[in-house]
Amino acid sequence: MLERNSGTLFDLGWVNRSCVNDQAVKNRVQDLLSSRLIHADHQVEWLARSIQCIDLTTLAGDDCPSNVARLCSKAAHPLSDDLTRALQIKHGLLTTGAVCVYPARVADACLGLERLGTNIPVASVATGFPTGQTSLKIRLEEIKFAVENGAKEIDIVINRELALSQNWEELYNELVEMRKACGDSHMKSILAVGELCNLTNIYKASLVAMMAGSDFIKTSTGKETVNATLPIGLVMCRAIRAYKRKTGFKVGFKPAGGIRTSSDVLQWMTLMKEELGDDYLTPDLFRIGASALLNDIERNLANHTTGGYFLAEEMPMA
């Protein structure tokens, strides 16, 4: 079991000294995409491994107990029985990393997973997701509501106004209160990177979130115009490296929004391995926020094992 990030005292000097070289980021990403390729013989193994890092998500206005139950079933059995046998994976061994829902659906998800006899954790968005435009008191109450209903992971959203106005200390203080409200549940801090204007702000927000005790830093809500991109991911990974070097704590990373294909996920896993090491290819430290991705992974695995070609709509939903 990894030691949880306990946070550190706020270090404004470290935050203010931080600056990102945009061209260097671009060059590094181009290098990764051109020279760090996963050989075709290994792609099946990597895709199967990626499934255990997926936070299988439904965040729709029409969510209800029945579609949450179906999501839980898919999380517990992400591949068809035929495909599982073809890949020689023991039945029930491969699951997604978590199921992610709104706070009002946490109890439904916990019940659905309990009925399936699996210990997959339930993650809940909170704090006025996706905008965070409610009072701090209400945001904290929403965290506590989700935790009381069984959520083991809380995906909170940061206050973008504080980040954009460079009010880093107040942002830190808010996040510390959110961390306390999470209790024993892990806190993933969503930076909403598409609304932070530049890579330097993203790096600084990453540092502040980790100083405040975040167990994961997450790119996006999936609702912004710009979500998870490799340059943004690289910047956040470098912040994780710097924080680990200074404090000794390993903080997880979760890209979310726009990761829909097997090719996408292989690029993200390559970034994790190259920048943070093999530990970041496991669900303890790497999660992917996605809803449609699993379907594409299953389709590609089926194509590989059968030698045929399956369409997305031919894949089972649950």
Catalytic residue list contains 250: no
Cβ atoms < 10 Å from Cβ of 50 = 25
In Å, how far from its chain's centre is CA 269? 13
Q: Choose the catalytic residue: 74, 204, 254, 273.
A: 254
**Using the 8-state DSSP alphabet, how is residue 11 labeled?**
-
d(CA 289, CA 278): 20
Quote the longest CA-to-CA distance of the chain. 57
| Best CA proximity match to 50, nearest among 236, 233, 289, 308 | 289
Q: Choose the catalytic residue: 74, 152, 218, 250.
A: 218
**Using the 8-state DSSP alphabet, how is residue 56 labeled?**
E
Catalytic residue list contains 218: yes
d(CA 47, CA 27): 26
Residue 122: strand pairing partners: 99
Q: Phi, psi (5° rounding) for residue 50?
A: -65, -30
**Apex CA 25: angle with CA 291 and CA 228, to 5°?**
10
d(CA 270, CA 37): 8
Peptide bond into 121 cis (omega under 30): no
For residue 240, give both structure tokens. 């994780």
Cβ atoms < 10 Å from Cβ of 135 = 9
Q: Which residues are catalytic?
A: 218, 254
